[in-house]
Amino acid sequence: MTSVTVIEASGTEHVIDVPVGETVMRAALNAGIDGIVGECGGGLACATCHCYVDEDWADRLEEAEPAEREMLECTASELRPTSRLSCQIIVDDGLDGLIVHLPETQY
């Protein structure tokens, strides 16, 4: 298991254990965390799992694929340099301690 901290826009922090190979989106949904909708189920078709990767972690993730970058243009909240779709962040052992922040809204 890998530990991921999800911080809601309100500041509420959730530390969740995520199985290697699982996405941050699916783990957050399974944990019942408010602020991630995942309307398309992780199909890279809705941008309702938008998150901001903590600055200290941004360079540790693989670069977003072109399809993800295109979908990020559809986010309801401010697009930032560390914006990612949590359905595209697949957890591995190297991401133990990852921190992501959720935007104020997904719609």
Q: State the average pLDDT over residues 11-23.
A: 98
- For the entire predicted model, the pTM comes to 0.96
Domains in the chain: how many in total? Answer: 1
**6 found inside a domain:** yes
Residues 6+ apart with CB under 8 A from 35: 6, 8, 9, 28, 102, 103, 106
**40 found inside a domain:** yes
Q: State the average pLDDT over residues 52-71.
A: 97
The predicted pLDDT at position 35 comes to 94
The percentage of residues in the chain with a pLDDT greater than 90, rounded to a whole number, is 100
**107 found inside a domain:** no
Looking up residue 60, the CATH number of its domain turns out to be 3.10.20.30
* Domain residue limits at 63: 2-101
pLDDT digits (tens, 9 = 90+) for 18-58: 999 999 999 999 999 999 999 999 999 999 999 999 999 99
Helices (H), the chain: 24-30, 55-58, 66-72
**19 found inside a domain:** yes
- For residue 7, the SS3 value is strand
